[in-house]
Structure 1
Amino acid sequence: MEKSLKVLLVEDNLIEIMKMKRTISLLKSKHTIHEAKNGEEALQFLEDKSNLPDIILLDLNMPKISGIEFLKILKADDDLKHIPTIILTTSSNQKDLLECYRTGMSGYVLKPLKYEDYVKKIETVLTYWSINELIKI
C-alpha cells in the first residue's frame, strides 16, 4: 500500500520548484513537499529531528553548498544518513554519478527536457519510495 511521503526538495531554481509542485498536483499525490533553496537551508531544516523527511530530492548544481558537498555532510551524520537521498539533476557527468554513489546516494535521476517525461520519472520515484519500507526514527 502506498503511503504519503514527506519529501525535502533541495533545489535553487524557482522554475524547478514550481515544476515539482505542479507535478505533485497533477499526480493528485498526497506527498508533502518541503523546499530548501540550497544546502545550508536544507541542513537547517534537518536540525529539527522530530520533522525529518522520508526522502530527499537533491539538485547537484547549487550555490553555497553543492549537492555533492551536502550529500557528504548528510551521510556523515549518524542521525541523518539513513534518509534516502535521490539526486535529481541535469548533469549526466559520469564523475558526478560515481561520486554520488560513492558518497551513499540512493538514486540518480536525470531531469528530462520534456515535461511529460519529467512527470513519469517523478511519479516512478515517488511510487517506489512510497511502497518501500522506510526507516522511521
Structure 2
Amino acid sequence: MGLLSAWCPQDDEVEFSFIRASGPGGQAVNKTSSAVQLRFDVRASRLPEAVKARLLASDDQRLSREGVFVIKAQVHRSQDMNRQDALERLVAWVQAAAHVPAVRRATRPTRGSQQRRLAGKAVRSAVKAGRGRVCGGD
C-alpha cells in the first residue's frame, strides 16, 4: 500500500455533478442541488495497472460495465461537505483495492491433531452407540 497510502485523485480524473437530494427535508431539498454525484473512470485514471485490475474485478454495484465508479453523496446539507464525503469514499475504495492480499499456502494437519480428532470421534461414537435400544436379556 506504500505508494497509494496518501493517494488523492487529480481534478481531471473526477467529474462532479450536483443534483437534488432525495428523502426528507421539505422545501430545502426540493429547491437546492446539494447532493453530489462523483464519477471516476478507473480505466482512464493514473493508477497502477495492478490496482486498476483489482478495482475492475470488484463486484461493487457502483461500478459500471464501462469501468466508471459512481458515488452519490447526499448526507449533508452543504454541497461542499457532500463533495468532500464523496471524495473520501472514493479514496477509501481505491486504498482498499491497493492492499495486496496475502497468498494463502495450504498446510497439512499435524499427526497429533489428527490423533486428537480421531480420539474425539471415537468418544462421540461410543456415546451415540450407548443410546441404542435396550434389549431385555431374559
TM-score normalised per structure 2? 0.27
TM-score normalised per structure 1? 0.28
Higher helix share: 1
- Which structure has the larger Rg? 2
